[in-house]
Structure 1
Amino acid sequence: MGGMKAWWPELLGAPATPAAMRISKDRPDVAVEVLPPGSPFDPRFNPKRVRLFINDSGMVQYVPIVG
């Protein structure tokens, strides 16, 4: 990825909207997908995507990573 940020451990437990905004600021070249619990998703790797898996409270549940 040539030095571009690929994961955001500091966003674990953060509210979804500010987390998505931070990722978009750090990596404007990727799409951010916010996925509530139980949402269906395609498991294939996509280098132009970051998924935010959130819990029922709207907080980031897993460390967001590119893919």
Structure 2
Amino acid sequence: MPWDMSKKYWPEVVGWPATQAVMKINADRPDVAIEVIPSGTTVAPGYNAERVRVFFDVGIASGIVVSTPAVG
């Protein structure tokens, strides 16, 4: 596989527009599903090794990633 399966966190995308963050994560790990979720939304608990959640701001900085996306 050409991608790095050990990459599990993307701290570099915090502060980026969510669309750009998704493109970066997809380039690094095309094997995971990416969920883009408004910050403050309640999500189902549980770890999923095939998922990355990207939480974005819905306020003044609308669309900006607010926390480090991670596999899980």
- Alignment TM-score > 0.5, same fold: yes
Structure with greater strand percent: 2
Which amino acid counterpart does residue 51 of structure 1 have in structure 2?
A: R
Unpaired runs of at least 5, structure 1: none
- The number of aligned residues is 66
Deviations 1:34-63 (A, max 9, x none): 001343321111000000010111010100
From the CA coordinates, give the structure whose radius of gyration is larger: 2
- CA-atom RMSD in angstroms: 1.5
Classify 1:62/1:42 alpha carbon distance in 2 versus 1 (closer, same or farther; 3 Å).
same
The aligned residue for residue 32 of structure 1 is: 34
Identical aligned pairs, as a percentage?
50
CA contact (8 A) 1:36 1:53 kept: yes
Scaled by the length of structure 2, the TM-score of the pair is 0.83
Query: Where do 4+ consecutive residues of structure 1 move more than 2 Å?
Result: 37-40
Unpaired runs of at least 5, structure 2: none
